[in-house]
Each structure stands twice: as C-alpha cells, then as structure tokens.
C-alpha cells in the first residue's frame, strides 16, 4: 500500500544521473519536495511527463520546491536520458537494491519489476501532504501538483 497523506515520508539515499548521492532528508527545513516515481526512461508516457515537468520547472522552483524523479533504471541510462531530453532536475536511480525505495513508498510493481506512476508532495518538515498513484499507462496531471503545492 502506498504512503498516505499525513505520513512521514521515508528517507532514502539514491544516486542521481551524475552519480551524486541525494537524500530526501537533505531538503528538510529548506524545500518542499515533489517526489515522482515513473516506470522507465525512454518510454513514451514517461518521456512526455518528464519533459512537461522540464518545460514547467519554474512552477516548482518558484514555490520553494525540489523536483526529484525516481525510476528503477541504472544511473548510466538516466544520464543518457537526461542529456537526450534536456532534463535539468535530478533523476534518481532505484536500481540496486532493485526497487527498495519504490517499495518503501508502496509503488513497486513486483510482477513488472518497475515503479508505478506515484507522486508524493512532501512538505519542508518531511510530511506527505498530497499523493496520487496511477497505473503504468496513465499519465499524471501536472496542474494537480501545482494546486497541491499552493496549499502548503
């Protein structure tokens, strides 16, 4: 079951597409976080979602918010994907141990071996304030993220 509104967001430590370590707790007290899980780099719906976020990044940065996108791809695949699509926010690899962070958030599909489309908006104190989990083929609505951030 996915993490619910009001839950303390599980901390994690993952490598980004440049090999740097990113911890959720590093943003506590400083920034809200939009934590976005997606199935796979280089796929149609995922690419569309991540490029839409790229094109609307100021809607997040202007709201003291860090965008973190997590998939179960390797950091090497994520580096190429980010370069190819011009993605300038961190793409985090939940590759090994495979899917541990996705499981902690309740969005890992054991049969397919990838994350579902789960989004968690986490406030500066580390509490989940909004969430949505969609099936693999169903894109999320970026406008809903912005509305939720405006309530913080």
The yes-or-no answer on residue 46 being catalytic is: yes
Say which DSSP state 11 is in: P
Selected catalytic residue, list 46, 70, 75, 115: 46
Q: For residues 9 and 107, is the Cβ–Cβ distance under 8 A?
A: no
Strand segments, DSSP code E, in the chain are 13-16, 21-23, 32-37, 65-71, 91-93, 108-109, 114-115, 117-122, 128-134
Catalytic (active-site) positions: 46
């Amino acid at each position: 079951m996915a993490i619910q509104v009001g839950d303390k967001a599980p901390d994690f430590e993952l490598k980004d597409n440049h090999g740097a370590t990113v911890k959720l707790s590093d943003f506590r007290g400083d920034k809200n976080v939009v934590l976005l899980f997606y199935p796979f780099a280089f796929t149609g719906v995922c690419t569309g979602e991540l490029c839409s976020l790229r094109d609307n990044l100021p809607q997040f940065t202007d709201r003291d918010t860090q965008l973190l996108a997590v998939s179960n791809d390797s950091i090497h695949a994520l580096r190429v994907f980010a370069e190819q699509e011009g993605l300038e926010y961190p793409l985090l690899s939940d590759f090994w141990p495979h899917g541990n962070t996705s499981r902690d958030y309740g969005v890992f599909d054991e049969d397919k071996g990838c994350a579902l489309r789960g989004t968690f908006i986490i406030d500066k104190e580390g509490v989940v304030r909004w969430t949505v989990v969609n099936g693999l083929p169903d894109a999320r609505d970026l406008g809903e993220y912005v509305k939720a951030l405006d309530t913080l």
